[in-house]
Structure 1
């Protein structure tokens, strides 16, 4: 029987799939997973699951997100160039104002 193994590196992290083990029962699968996948890298915990118990839903089974345009959620659709120019202009204006304030204070007016 094949058992899939998921490893958590440190407490609070997500478990990620790290491989599988072949074992006749749960106790042996846990032991094999610990030996093969738990000792090689820092490990907080392991999940060992029978492969036949893992279900999958893919794009052929269901339309994830539907057909609604949600491109506004990703920053790649925004125009940053104009905003960057405004920031640069504002910084230049602030620097010029600071130079003028210093000139007035120093009496160079």
Structure 2
């Protein structure tokens, strides 16, 4: 049975797919995942999931466009007075950092 492995580098970070292992059950999959994917890089936790339990929706099956536009949350999306130039610059900086994944 094939198990997909997801690794979390540090507490609070997202789990990311790092590979798979072949194992007969969950306990062996966790053990193999620790050996193969958890010991060389910093690892906070591992998830193992049976490959057949992972579902997928791709762009041909559903439309994703437009659902994630949240530009209304940023000051730069609106016409404002020049008196707020410093606040607009700060908002733009925050937006660029958020898009790059910085906090």
TM interval, shorter chain, is 0.5 to 0.7
Mapping 1:13-32, distance limit 5 Å: 13-32=13-32
Shift in Å, 1:25:
0.6
Which stretches in structure 1 are left out of the alignment for 5+ residues? 79-109
2-side partners of 1:34 and 1:63: how far apart? 37
Which stretches in structure 2 are left out of the alignment for 5+ residues? 72-76, 78-103
Determine if the alignment matches structure 1 residue 11 to structure 2 residue 11: yes
Cα RMSD for the two superposed structures:
2.6
Match of 1:41 in 2: 41
1-side partners of 2:14 and 2:64: how far apart? 22
Rg comparison, structure with higher value: 1
Match of 1:103 in 2: none
Match of 2:58 in 1: 58
Structure 1 ranges of 4+ moved more than 6 A:
none
Shift in Å, 1:64:
1.1
2-side partners of 1:29 and 1:50: how far apart? 9
Higher helix share: 1
Match of 2:90 in 1: none
2-side partners of 1:14 and 1:35: how far apart? 21
